A and B are shown apart, each in its own frame.
Chain A
């Protein structure tokens, strides 16, 4: 008893920093929720910000757009990372090179990546100039509207460029020698590339992949810089809409902005719950009931 007690306290102490972070996030969300139920100066109680949201085209346009950006970025990043990891997993040198490349990309700040993709893909950008020099276009107007266009192409490309390396690093960490041994065993038993991927590699990497996908989804759904710099005028991603509303010259817009922040928080909480359920199922499928 006296032995177990200090260890439990120690565990609590060790968890304290993590709990503090969660506590700060929860407090911020609570403050936002409180602000969304008040007037522009944070006084009184009212539900009108949420009633306005339902009528506002901002939510009907921005929520689907943000969901689209986040799910597409997540799916493409995950597929790219899986393909790349699968391709180089056999060679130790390939793995090391991939790891180094992915970590180097991770080190680039999102803002810098957005600026770089802007310079690369905009109408007067590098690709457009090359296309013009090659005689494919007559000027910036002929180049497709990747930046600020209705398809948000530049936003998606930048996210994939930033997030695929993140998923790669997570997958490489889960890709232990034990996984490789099982793959080798399957191969010696005559399993082809596809069936090895389906029956050995994917199930073993699935928990790491789910976790990485959740993080990417939550991040791309709630991030501001990239859609703010490369997105179209309308509709705008949810976080851009929220920040814009919060900075409005009308004090009365602040509750609406905070209500949008609450919506963002709720979507992420939903995604996290879904991911938790999925990964528990995966774990049970692997270890048996």
Chain B
């Protein structure tokens, strides 16, 4: 008995020592990261100093991975340009931007104030808002950026991201516009207004559907119907409030429920995301699909996923438009390089490379009037493939997005009032 006690005792002693060592090591690391918290302050440096520090760093750029055009633009244009500044770009594809935000939140909860896995995120309004609420973003650096001088600072789509003030916490990168996609061979004359679209859906049962919110595109379609006033709703206040919601939502749910019997599969089910809807369109199960990124359509046609007769249309009464951004988490491990990279992605060179046909085709955020003459001419000479919206049409009739506070309640309301209603 005595032997056993001593024996296990010694064993336990060793284990305890090991455990104590591990705890001590953990505390040390925690202490180190604790002192690193000071790094969350914005870099009070001049741009040249920042560039020198960025040299040799690798930026983990988290971005939605489902857009082939965006992926190849980053790999073929952004990465080589960054290489010249001594920065390596590692593109990390995510299924939804929310996944990147979750990762940063996880790091934050684990007490990781520096050395985080995410250096730069291609972010959209709702996720920016979520991250801002949780205090995830690095702020107060845009004044340093050389390429910010090409931006129109009075443009409301650049000061507000889905109604959330940008507050120097992200860098604009892209413009987008909600649009519908049809095959002109099957449907030569698409509906001209949102009201006519609803009429068309009811006259052609089973030929239309939309992705189930909270999918980004499906959620945008529901907001489009709301803001277009197609449901006979009153104008939507930009600011969210419960009274505002109660004033406009019931009519919207009524209209969507009235639409249900005319939808694909009688509206008993919906495609789970935009890509599933694209599949239905490509297979000819429905006559239309929709996108918040018309720039992605030519690539889908080139790859043969959509027919060559595919066309994009925007109802005359307008659709939603927004700007997407690049944001740097406070705890980014390589934030100097991330800042230099987000400025680089704003440069006329890369914005032009992004917009030119044969490239991604996505719309620039720069103000043409502020560009040097040479670049102004280059941008003016851009041509648009038939399958895409020309840039000047992008802003025509575009409505600013509702405040990000609307998105969650509308998505939940849809699930409760439309999806679960029989």
Q: Which residues of A contact B (CB under 8 A)?
A: 1-2, 5, 9, 40-42, 57, 61, 123-124, 140-141, 145, 148-150, 228-229, 232-235, 244, 246-251, 253
B130 at the interface (CB under 8 A from A): yes
Of A2, A5, A123, A148, the most chain B CB neighbours within 10 A belong to: A148
Per CB-CB distance, the 8 closest pairs between chain A and chain B, nearest first, are: A124-B283, A234-B419, A249-B126, A148-B269, A250-B408, A232-B269, A233-B270, A233-B212
The stretch from B2-10, B85-93, B187-195, B321-329 touching chain A is B2-10
Residues in chain A near residue B109, CB distance under 8 A: 41-42
* B117 CB to nearest chain A CB (Å): 18
Given contacts A233-B270, A233-B272, contact A250 B130 (CB under 8 A): yes
Given contacts A57-B416, A233-B419, A250-B408, contact A2 B269 (CB under 8 A): no
Q: How far is the CA of A123 from the CA of B268 in the complex (A)?
A: 14
Residues in chain B near residue A247, CB distance under 8 A: 96, 98-99, 102
Q: B98 touches which one: A2, A123, A148, A249 (CB < 8 A)?
A: A249
Q: Determine whether the beta carbon of A61 is less than 8 Å from that of B420.
A: yes
Q: A251 touches which one: B3, B8, B134, B279 (CB < 8 A)?
A: B134
In the complex, the chain B residue whose C-beta lies closest to that of A249 is: B126
Residues in chain B near residue A141, CB distance under 8 A: 206, 264-265, 285
Q: How far is the CA of A124 from the CA of B278 in the complex (A)?
A: 13
Chain B 126-143, CB-CB to A under 8 Å as 1, else 0, gives 110110011000000000
Q: Determine whether the beta carbon of A150 is less than 8 Å from that of B268.
A: yes
B307 at the interface (CB under 8 A from A): no
Q: How far is the CA of A108 from the CA of B280 in the complex (A)?
A: 27
Of A61, A229, A244, A251, the most chain B CB neighbours within 10 A belong to: A251
Size class of B's contact patch? 35 or more
Q: Determine whether the beta carbon of A248 is less than 8 Å from that of B408.
A: yes
Q: B285 touches which one: A40, A124, A149, A246 (CB < 8 A)?
A: A124
B214 at the interface (CB under 8 A from A): yes
Chain B 386-422, CB-CB to A under 8 Å as 1, else 0, gives 0000000000000000001001100100011001100
Q: Which residues of B contact A (CB under 8 A)?
A: 1, 3-4, 7-8, 11, 96, 98-99, 102, 105, 109, 126-127, 129-130, 133-134, 206, 212, 214, 264-265, 268-272, 279-280, 283-285, 404, 407-408, 411, 415-416, 419-420
Q: How far is the CA of A247 from the CA of B407 in the complex (A)?
A: 14
Residues in chain A near residue B4, CB distance under 8 A: 1-2, 5
Residues in chain A near residue B129, CB distance under 8 A: 249
Given contacts A9-B8, A234-B415, A249-B127, contact A145 B408 (CB under 8 A): no
Q: B214 touches which one: A61, A140, A234, A244 (CB < 8 A)?
A: A244
Q: How far is the CA of A60 from the CA of B238 in the complex (A)?
A: 34
Residues in chain A near residue B11, CB distance under 8 A: 9
* B413 CB to nearest chain A CB (Å): 12
Residues in chain A near residue B284, CB distance under 8 A: 124, 140
Q: Determine whether the beta carbon of B416 is less than 8 Å from that of A232.
A: no
Q: How far is the CA of A221 from the CA of B1 in the complex (A)?
A: 48
Q: How far is the CA of A229 from the CA of B11 in the complex (A)?
A: 50
In the complex, the chain A residue whose C-beta lies closest to that of B415 is: A234
Q: Determine whether the beta carbon of A234 is less than 8 Å from that of B285.
A: no
